[in-house]
Amino acid sequence: MTFAVGHLLELEQPEDIDPKYKRWTLDTLPILPQEFKVRPKKGTRDRLSVIKKLMQRDDVEGLINACDAGREGELIFREIAEFHGSDLPIERLWLQSMTKDAIRQGFGSLQDGAKFKGLSDAAHCRNYSDWLIGMNATRALTRRLKTRSENQAWSAGRVQTPTLAMLVDRELEILSHTPRPFWRIKGTFQYGGETYVGTWFDPSLRGGDDEEQKDDRLFDEARAKALVERLQGQAGVASETLKPSTEVAPPLFDLTSLQREANRRFGWSARRTLNAAQRCYEGHKVLTYPRTDTKALPQDYRTVVDEVIDQLGADARFQKAASTLKRDGLLNEKKIFDDSKVTDHFAIVPTGTLADLTGDDARLFDLVARRFLAAFHPPATWVRINRTTVVDGERFRSTARVLREAGWREVMGETEGEGKLTPFRPGADSTEGIDVATESVDLEADQTKPPPRISESRLLSLMENAGKYVDDEDAAEALKDSGIGTPATRADIIENLISKGYAMRAGRALKPSVKGIRLIDILHRMKAERLASPALTGEMEHQLAEVERGRLGADKFMSSIYDYAEEIVDLTKGFEFEHLYPDEAPLGTCPCGKEKPVYERSWFYRCKEPEGLETNQRKRKKMAEAGEEMIEDCTFRVWKDKSGRYIDRQTVKELLENKKSRPLDGFLTRQGRTFRAELELHDKDVELKRLEGGSADGEASETPEYEVDETPLGTCPHCREGQVMETRSTFICSKGLAVLRALDKDEATAFALRAKDVPEGMEYCPFLLPRTVCKREITRDEAQQYMQDGKTPLLEQFTSRKGRPFSAMLYMKETGRHGFEFLPRGGAQAKDGTSAEGETAKAASKKASATKKKAASKKKKTAAKKASTKKATAAKKPSTKKATAAKKKASTKKSATQKKASSKKAASNKAASRKAASAKSAATASSPASGGAASKKTVTKRRAARDANPPVEASSNPS
SS (H, E, C) 572-585: HHHCCHHHHCCCCC
Residue 817 exposure: Cα atoms within 13 Å on the Cβ side? 8
Q: CB within 8 A of 478, min separation 6: which ones? A: none
CA distance 6 to 55: 19
Question: Pick the catalytic residue: 191, 289, 562, 581?
Answer: 289
As beta bridge partners, residue 732 has 725, 768
CA distance 424 to 189: 13
Contacts 24+ apart (CB under 8 A), 365-368: 365/280, 365/284, 365/286, 365/287, 366/317, 367/258, 367/261, 367/262, 367/265, 368/253, 368/258, 368/277, 368/280, 368/287
CA distance 115 to 130: 25
Is 736 within 8 Å of 719 (Cβ atoms)?
A: no
Active site residue 289: yes
Is 766 within 8 Å of 815 (Cβ atoms)?
A: yes
CA distance 221 to 520: 40
Is 727 within 8 Å of 737 (Cβ atoms)?
A: yes
Distances (CA, A) of 756 to 221, 739, 762, 763: 56, 12, 11, 12
Q: CB within 8 A of 715, min separation 6: which ones? A: 721, 722, 723, 724
Distances (CA, A) of 221 to 184, 225, 228, 444, 633: 10, 6, 11, 10, 48
Q: Is 790 left (phi over 0), alpha (psi -120 to 50) or beta?
A: left
Is 650 within 8 Å of 673 (Cβ atoms)?
A: no
Estimate the crossing angle of helix 255-266 against helix 456-464, to 10 degrees: 160
Is 438 within 8 Å of 391 (Cβ atoms)?
A: yes
Is 341 within 8 Å of 384 (Cβ atoms)?
A: no
Distances (CA, A) of 627 to 617, 748, 942: 15, 62, 44
- Alpha helices by DSSP H, listed for 471-526, are 473-478, 487-499, 514-525
CA distance 283 to 288: 12
Q: Which residues are catalytic?
A: 289
